[in-house]
């Protein structure tokens, strides 16, 4: 073993202490033993469900009794792809993403930029904006359901006082979307706010000093310096928000139950219904995988895009 | 560009420009503070409602002090729902999840950061790939797998998904890589075993990573909803979020009692948050777990 002669330099490697030499036995053993507990659970309970899902999607498994059922080939998939209800649910998840992502990103950016110009009271902002995020979704739903109560709830009163028409928050589709969007905004806003605030702290203060010496007003500084410098953070916040919004379940299930008449039901609730109301495990697994592939494709596209822009800007830096 | 000539012409105007910037900052402060106060309204509204009586709420919904305040709704909520049991369940499950996630995650993170062994590259790739995996989308196959392992209805069913998530390994490995190698090598020369290096040297100086993983695991386990809803089907084994979800109904007119239950549901978490707010916010900012 090479470890027995540590003083003699290896003939092939001119660098002293080459990392490529064979590590001692106890190091290899310690590495394997320390990784094992995590790795076993990871493979069983993170990779496992994915493999189980792939397997089930080719069988007509039911969720009421154990056992796989019969092999049905690709028919679950062809049924999912042609199922109007699945695509409706998919559209509801996308609609929710379209409704929540712009305000959650833009408002968080605005609030973080404005808050960064204030010297005192930072703790108040942090606590006020982030506190809702640590509250369970069902508690948020209870509070908002009470605030949405027709006639006596707080929000109908506020809408009325401002002169806006009061939507039927729980009973109608458009009112339901308003209700879910407002609640999600309140609940998860703090997360994006915190990401932006952290990024703002990394911008060196001399950039702003230089700009103000050059005569740039505060609004110009924000528009031309701060927001462009936050570009990478915005791209991160955006993708995290899109992925999180596409996975929506709690808010819509709790507040509206996917209703009225399934007109707001998101994909996860559709899968939940097929698996636990219609007991069609195999079919639900196929739907899960179609949805899963869409989500993975979106995040992979984002990673690719980000790598390409990073490479592009590096190339540009080399050119200049 | 005309910026070269700018500083000279700006010099006489410096005084109003500074005032303008100050005014702008003050306007910012007013706007954001107003915004922050609006964000606190739902909490305040729930708290105020919980202290009133149902009769006076329906009579004067917006005058907060009409009818007087009492803690009656709290004793009613506590007596009618097993809130204490739900609390205990949530606490035990979250504590177990933190314990195992921190333990196994830090061990794997340590091995990946310092040790050379067979399969290290594969594990690193698995961790990186797992970060992109939307595991919440897989509830249905996950449910069927847990059923075949006879894990449904047990607390382990709620602990294992958290331990399996690779984000903790990622956080620990990133933190451990910042520890100078000389420290590790010195300990090894002194004859410390790898386990000792991990447990006695690396873990004690990794308080920031440890508290980040612990707090975020605790909050996400405590708040998870869909999975415990599927897995725990007995009323007495439910967690706080699932238990309280049974009160969600728009035909419920016991406003004070429902709000008292929600206050009981958010108060402890808000207390934890207020104590650890700096670490929590920092942890979120550095890991970006959603």
CA–CA separation, A138 vs B224, rounded Å?
10
- Parse chain B into domains and list their residue ranges: 6-72, 82-246
d(CA A157, CA A154): 5
The shortest C-alpha distance from A5 to chain B (Å) reads 16
Q: Token pair 């053993």 is at which residue?
A: A29
Domain count, chain A: 1
Kindly state whether residue A145 falls inside one of the protein's structural domains: yes
Instruction: List chain B residues with CB under 8 Å of A137.
Output: 223, 225, 241
The tens digit of pLDDT for each residue in B208-259 reads: 888 888 988 988 898 899 899 888 877 778 888 888 888 877 666 678 888 8
* A51 within some domain: no
The CB-based long-range contact list for A16-21 (8 Å cut-off, 24+ gap) reads A19/B116
What rounded mean pLDDT belongs to chain A? 83
Per-residue pLDDT tens over the stretch A178-212 = 999 999 999 999 889 988 988 888 888 888 888 88
In chain B, which among 153-182 make CB contacts under 8 A with chain A? Answer: 160-161, 163-166, 169
Q: Please report residues of A whose CB lies closer than 8 A to that of B139.
A: 268, 271-272, 275, 288
Range of lowest pLDDT (A297-301, B19-23, B225-229) = B19-23
How many Cβ contacts (< 8 angstroms) between chains A and B? 324
Q: Is A33 part of any domain?
A: no
* pLDDT range class, residue A266, cuts 50, 70, 90: very high
Look at residue B156 and tell me whether its pLDDT is greater than 50: yes
Q: CATH number of the domain at B82-246, please? A: 1.10.3720.10
The number of angstroms, rounded, from the C-alpha of A44 to the middle of its chain's C-alpha atoms is 24
Q: Which residues of A touch B33 (CB under 8 A)?
A: 121, 124-125
Element (H, E) at B112: helix B83-114
pLDDT at residue A212, as a whole number: 80
A289 has pLDDT over 70? yes
Tens digit of each residue's pLDDT (9 = 90 or more) over A126-148: 889 988 988 999 999 989 988 88
Question: Is pLDDT above 70 for B6?
Answer: no
Q: What are phi and psi of B276, to 5 degrees?
A: -105, 20
C-beta separation of B290 from A243 below 8 A: yes
The three-state secondary structure class of B45 is: helix
**What is the reported pLDDT for A208?**
80
Q: What is the pTM of this model?
A: 0.84
Q: Is A138 on the interface with B (CB under 8 A)?
A: yes
Contact A36, A48 (CB under 8 A): no
Is A71 a member of any domain?
no
- Tokens describing residue B154: 């047990």
φ, ψ dihedrals at A223, nearest 5°: -70, -40
| CATH classification at residue A143 | 1.10.3720.10
Selection from A6-10, A258-262, B276-280 with the highest mean pLDDT: B276-280
Distance from CA of B80 to the nearest CA of A (A): 17
Is A110 part of a structural domain of the chain?
yes
Cα B118 to the center of its chain, rounded Å: 35
Give SS3 for B190.
coil
Under the banding of pLDDT at 50, 70 and 90, the label for residue B98 is very high
| pLDDT value of position B1 | 39
pLDDT band at A20 (very low <50, low <70, confident <90, very high): low
**CA A195, A199, A205, A209 torsion: positive or negative?**
negative
Does the CB of B33 have a partner CB in chain A at under 8 Å?
yes
Alpha-carbon distances, residue A258 vs A138, A244, A265, B232, B263 (angstroms): 15, 18, 4, 22, 26
Q: What is the per-residue pLDDT for B92?
A: 93
**Residues shown for chain B:** 290
Contact state of A142 with B262 under an 8 Å Cβ cutoff: yes
pLDDT for position B250: 66
Whether residue A56 contacts residue A68, with contact meaning beta carbons closer than 8 Å, is answered with yes
- Would A191 be classed as within a structural domain? yes
Partners of B160 on chain A (C-beta within 8 Å) are 41, 45
pLDDT tens across A147-174, in order? 888 777 888 888 888 888 888 888 888 8
- Residues in chain A within 8 Å Cβ distance of B259: 142-143, 146
Q: For B261, which residue in chain A has the nearest alpha carbon?
A: A139
Q: Does A145 touch chain B (CB under 8 A)?
A: yes
ipTM: 0.83
Average of per-residue pLDDT across B23-49: 87
Query: What is the average pLDDT across B148-155?
Result: 87
Q: Which residue, among B32, B87, B219, B278, would best test binding to A if mutated, counting the most A CBs under 10 Å from its CB?
A: B32
- Give me the helix-helix angle, A154-162 and A137-148, nearest 10°: 50
Q: What is the mean pLDDT of chain B?
A: 83
pLDDT band at A43 (very low <50, low <70, confident <90, very high): very high
| Host domain of residue A290 | 86-203+230-313
Report the share of chain B in percent with pLDDT over 70. Answer: 88
* For residue A11, pLDDT beyond 70: no
Q: State the Cα–Cα distance between residues B262 and A142, nearest whole angstrom.
A: 7
């Amino acid at each position: 073993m090479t470890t027995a002669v540590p003083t003699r330099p290896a003939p092939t490697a001119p660098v002293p202490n080459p990392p490529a030499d064979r590590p001692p036995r106890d190091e290899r053993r310690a590495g394997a033993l320390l990784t094992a507990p995590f790795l076993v659970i990871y493979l069983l309970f993170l990779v496992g469900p994915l493999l189980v899902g792939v397997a089930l999607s080719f069988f007509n498994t039911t969720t009421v009794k154990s056992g796989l059922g019969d092999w049905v080939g690709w028919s679950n998939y062809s049924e999912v792809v042609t199922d109007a209800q699945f695509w409706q649910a998919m559209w509801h998840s996308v609609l929710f993403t379209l409704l929540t992502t712009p305000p959650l990103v833009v408002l968080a950016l605005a609030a973080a930029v404005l808050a960064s110009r204030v010297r005192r009271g930072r703790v108040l902002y942090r606590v006020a904006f982030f506190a809702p995020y640590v509250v369970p979704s069902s508690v948020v739903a209870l509070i908002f359901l009470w605030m949405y109560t027709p006639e006596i709830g707080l929000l109908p009163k506020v809408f009325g006082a401002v002169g806006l028409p009061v939507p039927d928050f729980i009973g109608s589709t458009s009112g339901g979307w308003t209700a879910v969007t407002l609640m999600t905004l309140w609940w998860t806003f703090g997360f994006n706010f915190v990401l932006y605030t952290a990024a703002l702290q990394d911008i060196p203060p001399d950039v702003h000093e230089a700009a103000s010496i050059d005569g740039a007003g505060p609004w110009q500084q924000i528009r031309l310096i701060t927001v462009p410098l936050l570009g990478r953070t915005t791209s991160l916040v955006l993708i995290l928000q899109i992925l999180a919004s596409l996975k929506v379940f709690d808010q819509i299930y709790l507040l509206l139950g996917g209703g009225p008449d399934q007109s707001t039901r998101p994909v996860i609730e559709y899968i939940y219904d097929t698996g636990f109301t219609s007991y069609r495990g195999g079919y639900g697994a196929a739907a899960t995988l179609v949805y899963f592939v869409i989500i993975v494709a979106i995040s992979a596209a984002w990673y690719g895009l980000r790598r390409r822009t990073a490479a592009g800007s590096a190339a540009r830096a080399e050119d200049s | 560009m005309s910026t070269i000539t700018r500083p000279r012409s700006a010099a006489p105007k410096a005084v109003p420009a500074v005032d303008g910037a100050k005014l702008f900052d003050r306007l910012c402060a007013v706007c954001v503070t107003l915004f922050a106060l609006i964000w606190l309204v739902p909490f305040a509204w729930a708290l105020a409602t919980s202290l009133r009586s149902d009769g006076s709420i329906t009579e004067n919904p917006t005058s907060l002090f009409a009818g007087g305040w009492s803690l009656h709704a709290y004793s009613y909520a506590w007596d009618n729902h097993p809130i204490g049991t739900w609390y205990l369940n949530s606490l035990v499950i979250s504590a177990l999840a933190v314990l195992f996630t921190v333990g196994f995650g830090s061990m794997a993170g340590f091995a990946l950061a310092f040790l050379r062994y067979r399969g290290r590259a594969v594990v690193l790739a698995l961790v990186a790939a797992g970060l992109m995996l939307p595991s919440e989308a897989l509830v249905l196959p996950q449910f069927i797998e847990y059923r075949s392992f006879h894990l449904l209805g047990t607390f382990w069913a709620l602990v294992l998904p958290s331990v399996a998530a690779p984000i903790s390994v990622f956080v620990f490995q990133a933190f451990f890589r910042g520890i100078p190698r000389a420290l590790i090598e010195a300990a090894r020369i002194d004859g410390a075993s790898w386990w000792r290096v991990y447990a006695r040297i690396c873990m004690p100086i990794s308080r920031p990573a440890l508290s980040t993983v612990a707090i975020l695991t605790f909050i996400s386990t405590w708040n998870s909803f869909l999975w415990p809803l599927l897995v725990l089907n007995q009323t007495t084994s439910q967690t706080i979020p699932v238990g309280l979800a049974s009160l969600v109904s728009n035909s419920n007119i016991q406003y004070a009692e429902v709000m008292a239950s929600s206050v009981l549901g958010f108060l402890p978490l808000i207390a934890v948050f207020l104590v650890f707010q700096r670490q929590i916010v920092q942890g979120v900012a550095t890991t970006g777990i959603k």
